[in-house]
Amino acid sequence: MLGKRLPVAALAMGLLAGVTAMPAAADTTIKVHYAYPQVVKVVHEAVTEELKKREPGIAVEFLAPSNNYDEQMQLILRGNITGDLPDIVFVGTNWTRIVAARGLAEPIDDLIARETDWKKRGFSRSMMRIGTYRGKVYGLPLALSTPVLYYNVDLVKRAGGDPDSFPTDWDGIFELAARIKALEPGLEGIHLTRNPGNWYLQTLVMTHGGKLISDDRRRIGFNGKAGLAALTIFDRAVKDGGMIDLTRSAARQNFAAGKQGITWNSTAQLVRTTENIGGRFAFRTAPLPTPVGTEKARIAAGGNVGIILTKDPERRAAAWKYLTLATGVWGGKTVVTTTGYMAPNQLLADDPSHLGRFYDQNPNFATSLKQLPMITAFYAYPGKNGLRINKAIHDRVNEVVAQRMTPKDALAGIAAEVDRLLSD
């Protein structure tokens, strides 16, 4: 469970509710856009409030947030055509390369070079690589996450499982899920949610040793054993674990209501999940199974990267102040304690004293840290059809969950459609 820090996070969210912008008398106004407001709104409001104290000449205007990163990317691409772009945008880690490749932003290497104490502020090269394209830095990561398993301790115990020794392989997980499902009508032993960017499917493919695209980038890379294994996980969740075809929102409500034994979710949902459960039962987190071993397995890093889009020198300088505050040590502490995301700032990773005893008191938050050695880029397919490719894959996964397609047929459909879109 979240432990002693939850009231602090909850208090922060309550105090920050209603903060929308800086005073109109400020010298420079920057427009900020982000996605997933239910998770990160409190972070951006906190950054705005702190920026007001440090830089009273900068005003912040929040544009209406997008529901997810794919919708946000569509908005940005349209805005590029109409000339109506925000000054700074926090895009999904999978879309950084697209923003850079399409010339929507300029590199920020010049801004970094002007910071004389840059190396002392925790912005490590390894983390900056997430916002790098062709050797140039275009953005800084605000928050990182990995998918982890969430499990209801009470249901695991009732089903004869040991919460202190949760299964580490999919066979063991589905065996436990089947026992939870059998406890009473209406229980889901396991629920594996899906998202439009196929973050979870990408991770399943890579933890089974597969790759997402061929070396020549003209075909999908998982039309084989790894892809079939990944889709079979969804099929088994339905057949063995009693998974119901629910929206992501409904599935999360089901877990919070104690109607699911096991699920997976982003670490970014930890605070929200804890609050939604409200102490009705205990839950814990566990790492994802890695069938090919932790040395070979890779896990897609979710989260978002702040990228400055404006080319106006004055607004660019102001946006840089916002970005470095949000992604630095101060912002990193806020990100961790109010969401569950990992802060990508190296000082926080190297020196636990910055967060006090937070991870000791909140072990659910520490699970994702165990997966850090395996993280890799959340992939965005190249070319003009990237969003259509995501949808084509997502639709086939949904067909498997709805039991209208077998994993084998779904994989064949994915391969045919994606290969066509990649060559278009």
Please report, rounded to a whole number, the percentage of residues in the chain having pLDDT higher than 70: 93
User: Confidence band (pLDDT; 50, 70, 90) for 236?
Assistant: very high
Residues 357 and 394 in one domain: no
> Tokens 């995501």 label which residue?
390
Q: Per-residue pLDDT averaged across 289-311, rounded?
A: 94
Cβ atoms within 10 Å of 31's Cβ, excluding its own = 19
Residues in the chain: 424
Please report, rounded to a whole number, the percentage of residues in the chain having pLDDT higher than 90: 73
362: pLDDT strictly greater than 50: yes
Asked if 264 and 200 touch (Cβ cutoff 8 Å), the reply is yes
Residues 153 and 270 in one domain: yes
Give the C-alpha separation, 22 to 304, whole Å.
Answer: 23
- pLDDT, tens digit, for every residue of 16-37? 333 444 444 569 999 999 999 9
Residues 40 and 74 in one domain: yes
- Residue 168 Ramachandran class (φ > 0 left, ψ -120 to 50 alpha, else beta): alpha
Average per-residue pLDDT for the chain: 90
Residues 359 and 229 in one domain: no
Give the C-alpha separation, 182 to 241, whole Å.
Answer: 9
Q: What single DSSP character describes residue 374? A: G
What is the total count of domains within the chain? Answer: 2
- pLDDT, tens digit, for every residue of 371-399? 888 888 788 898 889 989 999 999 999 99
Burial 297-317, CB ≥16 within 10 A → b, else e: bbbbbbbbbbbbbbeeeebbb
Q: What is the pLDDT of residue 128?
A: 83
Residues 335 and 399 in one domain: no
- pLDDT, tens digit, for every residue of 86-136? 999 999 998 998 899 999 999 999 999 999 999 889 887 767 888 999 999
Domain boundary among 336, 352, 372: 372
- Whose CA is closest to 266, among 242, 241, 248? 248
> Tokens 């926090």 label which residue?
90
Q: Per-residue pLDDT averaged across 159-169, rounded?
A: 98
19-33, 253-267, 293-307, 386-400 — which is least confidently predicted?
A: 19-33
Instruction: Provide the CATH number for the domain around residue 27.
Output: 3.40.190.10
Residues 99 and 235 in one domain: no
Q: What single DSSP character describes residue 343? A: P
38: pLDDT strictly greater than 50: yes
> Tokens 């982000």 label which residue?
34
Stated as kind and residue range, the H or E segment containing 261 is strand 260-266
Q: Of residues 366 and 125, which shows the higher confidence score?
A: 366
Residues 315 and 399 in one domain: no
Alpha-carbon distances, residue 199 vs 34, 79, 122, 131 (angstroms): 18, 25, 27, 18
- pLDDT, tens digit, for every residue of 411-420? 999 999 999 9
12: pLDDT strictly greater than 60: no
Q: What is the pLDDT of residue 9?
A: 42
Residues 121 and 159 in one domain: no
Residues 191 and 266 in one domain: yes
Asked if 418 and 392 touch (Cβ cutoff 8 Å), the reply is yes
Residues 261 and 306 in one domain: no
- Whose CA is closest to 20, among 57, 56, 45, 52? 45
Q: What is the pLDDT of residue 26?
A: 66
Q: What is the pLDDT of residue 180?
A: 98
Domain residues for 195? 147-299+377-423
Give the C-alpha separation, 307 to 99, whole Å.
Answer: 9
Residues 116 and 30 in one domain: yes
Residues 280 and 412 in one domain: yes
